[in-house]
Structure 1
Amino acid sequence: TPVPDMFAGAIGPGLLLVAVYGILVAIRARTLPRAPRPEGRASPLRLLLDLGPLLSLIVIVLGSIIAGYATPTEASGLGAFGAILVALLYRRFDLSVIMDAARQTVTTTSMVLLVMIGATCFSAVFKAVGGDDMVETAITAFGTEPLTVLAVVMGAIFLLGFVLDWLEITLILMPIFAPIVAGLDFGNGLTGDALLVWFGILVAVNLQTSFLTPPFGFSLFYLRGAAAGQLTTTDIYKGVLPFILLQLLVLGLIIAFPVIVTGLL
């Protein structure tokens, strides 16, 4: 599927997730004791000046991809150059920053490429021994109705998110599931690339739960570390449950109303 279409398709679901998160936070905040207002709060103008360069960088990078002015590779170069300009603007730029960014880039890229190589080898062997046919048979055993097949696929991805990272799920399962879904008619008028973009965004939203579901959820460990011992693991597990339910709600809305994804295609 075209990468710009995937970016465009993700905007609607992304904004929808932000909206439902915001509603939950607003409702939850009203039940908490009011904390004293901090002194010297930043004015809206100051906040805009602080966030403006970063927001502009995001809009320029994603906008250039969606509008077709740049490929993802070209846009990444534009984003790197823009990040350097932002660092200069904030007077945070020096040689150590560049070296640290370069080391992290090499580490992350190496990790992702090694996973991709391993996943590609696994998928090739898996298909060569007829594994994809076995998976298709197992899925259709629950029924051949398109929505039933989709429910089984989404359920499998959701459960695997408890124990596997999103990258492994994407690289190993998508080559198996995507051809199955591409041959189905969901009665929503989607075919070809539009159907696969819709399915890809469904998987992406589903995989968001893998960041929150124990025991593997990355976000839970990040939060535990950031809280510096003020929160227990049990507290975090309880607190994350409403957000998981909201993500499943958004997933259901995208299935029922594909225009959320395809509106900008």
Structure 2
Amino acid sequence: MAAQTTPLPSVLLVGCGQMGSSMLEGWLAHGLKPSVVLDRHDRALPAPHKLAATLDAVPAEFQPDIIILAVKPQKADEVLGALAQRFPNATLLTVMAGRTVASLTACYTHSNPKAQPVIIRAMPNTPCAIGAGMSGLYAPPNATEEQKAQCDALLRAVGDTVWVAQEEQMDSVTALSGSGPAYIFLLAELLEKAGVEQGLPAETARTLARKTIYGAGALLNQSPVDAEELRRRVTSPGGTTAEALKIFMAPDAWPATVPQAVAAAARRAKELST
């Protein structure tokens, strides 16, 4: 994660659920220009940041560098209509799955035909809560380099970023890294249960499963060697790992089901866009 040398841009964070609050924690820790959180739930914010229950409660003089859309997709249209009246030429960073730049822009300009928003898409994931997030971003042609840099700085404050050249690729980003932590949590869950079935105490199996995934992930992240080679280095011919991998790598096991699962998630992301 890149170190922050200048304050992060000021934001209007619209929605502060699990993802919104995770990002906010990271931004506050890295230095955030005076910002406003728009959320109906009461929460403590350090000065000079402010909480507003409604858009009308946002100070009239407040002009954010970036508006962060962290609401559920089905609530976006109502929120965008109100924002278009107050901030017609805003830069918006959306972390909603599926909703395209075109659909969000159309909603914005439908409410205010004179509005000229710049909408950048991002798909972070829940490890943002501990500064280890992975975010994919897409910027349309009307986004400036400064706007892209500001959005990149915000997401780098809670992890790492990659940019994709085509908006359609955001569905794949959503399926791979946005949903990806759930796949790893499922693996941990299943390994823990398997350990108990093999006679280990539950707490021991839990520790072994979690720390193994943590260590393997850290090694994979820090090593220049690709994942396939790292797997081979663990696998002695005729050994215990090889026996397990015979099951995992059977044609109808992981080689088939992992691509199917990621494809299903990407397909659902596309459905959400319509």
Name the TM-score, length of structure 2 as normaliser: 0.25
Instruction: Tell me which of the two structures has the higher relative contact order, counting C-alpha pairs closer than 8 angstroms and 6 or more residues apart.
Output: 1
Going by fraction, where is helix more abundant, 1 or 2?
A: 1
Name the TM-score, length of structure 1 as normaliser: 0.26
